[in-house]
């Protein structure tokens, strides 16, 4: 059962990092978005991870200490939008200013790189677990 | 023969169980590499090994000298993180621990497989 725990934990890491990557992609894609359903320019989003105990009934002390990861919530950036003077823009106000999302490409790229690296780390965990399973199978050969 | 089959096999089995349990703890560290406030954890082997080596039957009715898996493991939490989000996982260290532990598991599983093959020869009198 332990190997399946390892797989579950690694899978939780993969999906959490993928969610983080998706949010980063959304931020970059909407770097110039001035209209949103909730009104105003797009607001930069970020994920917050939280450790979560593994599900399941009868577990020992060590197993109960195991934590997978999940996206706890998606937060919106509270920094004010950027103002740009562009009178011809359809969303410009009376003064000719447009409110644009505050997206810093460097920030997003860093986040993306970090998510990608963490994703690969979880992938390695999965690969190692499979190797261990194969080694265990060879015992009974 | 007793030293080879009778002791080494239960010890290897105990070690494999430990490596497997530890791998799950290390996997949790990697999964939580970006979780705010998460402290890395590790499972300690010394106690388990000591128990495996020193346990002896004090009564003939006792079953085996193999330790009960999990009973002697000690979970240790790492220091609080110095990163702004309070995460205490050192990613390089976590990956190295993970790889070494998995390697040790595979090596010991291989040794156990060979010991069992030897035991099979001892029982049947012929190599496969």
Q: What is the DSSP string of A31-43?
A: TT----TTSSS--
Q: How many angstroms separate the first and last alpha carbons of chain B?
A: 19
- Answer yes or no: is the ipTM higher than 0.95: no
Is B43 in Cβ contact with A3 (below 8 Å)? no
CA B24 to chain centre: 11
A84 beta partners: A98
Residue B82: its pLDDT value, please? 83
Residue A1: its pLDDT value, please? 58
Contacts of B50 (CB under 8 A, 6+ apart): B72
Domain count, chain A: 1
- Please give the radius of gyration of chain B, using alpha carbons only, rounded to the nearest integer: 19
- B-chain CB neighbours of A50 within 8 Å are 35
Is B75 in Cβ contact with A67 (below 8 Å)? no
Going from the first residue of chain A to its last (141 residues), give the mean pLDDT of each consecutive group of 10, the final group possibly shorter.
88 96 96 91 94 79 86 93 92 92 94 95 96 91 71
Quote the tokens at residue A17: 């990092």
Chain A contact present for B38, CB below 8 A? yes
Judged by phi (left if over 0) then psi (alpha if -120 to 50, else beta), residue A7 lies in alpha
Quote the tokens at residue B24: 């799950």
The domain of A76 spans 2-139
H-helix or E-strand containing B113? helix B91-124
Domain count, chain B: 1
pTM of the model: 0.82
- Name which of B28, B38, B109 is nearest A135 (Cβ-Cβ): B109
Is B116 in Cβ contact with A139 (below 8 Å)? yes
Q: Please choose, from the candidates A123, A114, A107, the residue with its C-alpha nearest in 3D space to the C-alpha of residue A15.
A: A123
CA distance A47 to A67: 18
Residue B50: its pLDDT value, please? 54
Residue B35: its pLDDT value, please? 93
pLDDT at B32 > cutoff 90 = yes
Average pLDDT of the residues in B13-42: 93
CA distance B90 to B19: 20
The domain of B46 spans 2-124
**Cβ pairs bridging A and B (under 8 Å):** 120
């Amino acid at each position: 059962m332990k190997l399946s725990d390892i797989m579950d934990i690694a899978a939780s890491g993969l999906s959490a990092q993928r969610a983080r990557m998706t949010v980063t992609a959304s931020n970059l894609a909407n770097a110039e978005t001035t209209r949103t359903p909730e009104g105003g320019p797009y607001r930069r989003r970020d994920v917050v991870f939280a450790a979560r105990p593994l599900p399941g009934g009868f577990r020992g002390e060590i197993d109960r200490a195991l934590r997978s990861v999940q996206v706890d919530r998606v937060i919106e950036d509270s920094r004010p939008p950027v103002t740009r003077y562009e009178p011809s823009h359809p969303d410009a106000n009376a003064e000719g200013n447009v409110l644009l999302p505050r997206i810093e490409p460097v920030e997003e790229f860093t986040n993306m790189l970090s998510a990608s690296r963490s994703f690969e780390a979880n992938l390695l965990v999965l690969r190692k677990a499979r190797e261990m399973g194969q080694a265990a199978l060879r015992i009974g050969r | 023969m007793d030293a080879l089959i009778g002791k080494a096999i239960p010890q290897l089995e105990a070690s494999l169980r430990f490596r497997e349990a530890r791998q799950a703890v290390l996997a949790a560290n990697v999964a939580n590499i970006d979780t705010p406030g998460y402290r890395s954890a590790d499972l300690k082997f010394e106690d388990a090994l000591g128990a495996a080596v020193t346990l002896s039957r004090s009564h003939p009715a006792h079953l085996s000298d193999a330790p009960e898996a999990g009973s002697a493991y000690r979970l240790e939490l790492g220091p609080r993180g110095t990163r702004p989000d309070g995460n205490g996982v050192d990613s390089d260290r976590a990956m190295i621990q993970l790889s070494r532990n998995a390697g040790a598991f595979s090596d010991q599983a291989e040794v156990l497989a060979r010991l069992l093959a030897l035991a099979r020869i001892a029982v049947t009198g012929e190599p496969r």
